Amino acid sequence: MTMPTYIEPCLPKLVELAPTGERWIHEIKHDGYRLAVRIDAGDVRLLSRRGLNWTSRFPLVDQAARELRQKSVYIDGEVVIDGADGISDWPALHACASAGRCPGASLWAFDLLFLGGNDLRALPLVERKRMLAEILAPLTGGISYVEFLEGDGRTIFEHACALGLEGIVSKLRDSRYRSGKSDAWRKTKCEQRSKFVVAGFIPNSGNKRAVGALVLAELIGGELKPAGKVGTGWTMKLATELAAALEIIEQPEAPFTKPLLRKAFPGVRWVRPIVTVEVAYRGRTGDGLLRHPSFKAVASVQ
């Protein structure tokens, strides 16, 4: 069978609770870009989630793919930059990918769709993974095999979060590979929660009487420092109420210990730092700002 030039990836469904039961296996969720390795007659292509040719961006993965003995293969995985602690460094990956080249990025491979002209997508997942592990075994870097865990998904998820990982992806062990959203693959993401001081707000672009985003701050070493901004998690009613309350405590200057240019947060209206909110987030950027924050509640008002 002729191997397609591009296969739309199977996408996991986001769930709050990891599934349990013997039908499920569980993999660590790596924080990177979806990437496929397509080799046809020895010609290597690295394809993005939408089928763009990203071969030149990830030279380490490209080199490892060329070292494979198989000359006709289609591998699905996630390209990452692993930090010193072994946890994916998303900000570093995003920065170098945007610049067009990531020499330190490697691939975590979790599925095998084609091998030697044979379409494997109808085979059970665990069989595809067994074959994938075999073909990747000779490699010493660039592409690594994603092991799977068996057992209670919720316990495995708790351990992953305790280690500071992004979460897990649970998959039906006998499932076939289906492009697009699939209930046979389910991702559960770790979430951190903390309280932050509101330093200012940015009005909603469509309704100036409502909050579009809150500028956050945190007290570190006796200094009030920026923590980023949050723009999701509230209803329009609550956003309007927040704006009305914050307008009362508005002030001309940023409340941070060290001066901050207004252009860092375009359209911001600074407030006295007396309101604390609870925010959920999934890690930090390299400069300490929150990643994927979501507003949860007003915690206190001094």
Q: How far apart are the C-alpha atoms of 176 and 150, rounded to whole Å?
A: 18
Dihedral Cα 44, 45, 46, 52, nearest 10 deg: 170
Q: How far apart are the C-alpha atoms of 233 and 228, rounded to whole Å?
A: 15
**What are the residue numbers of the active site?**
29
Residues 6+ apart with CB under 8 A from 14: 186, 187, 188, 189
Question: CA nearest 271: which of 235, 302, 240, 299?
Answer: 302
Burial of 95 (0-12, 13-18, 19+ CB in 10 A): middle
Q: How far apart are the C-alpha atoms of 136 and 119, rounded to whole Å?
A: 18
Question: CA nearest 125: which of 177, 77, 167, 84?
Answer: 177
Q: How far apart are the C-alpha atoms of 54 and 35, rounded to whole Å?
A: 8
Q: How far apart are the C-alpha atoms of 255 and 196, rounded to whole Å?
A: 13
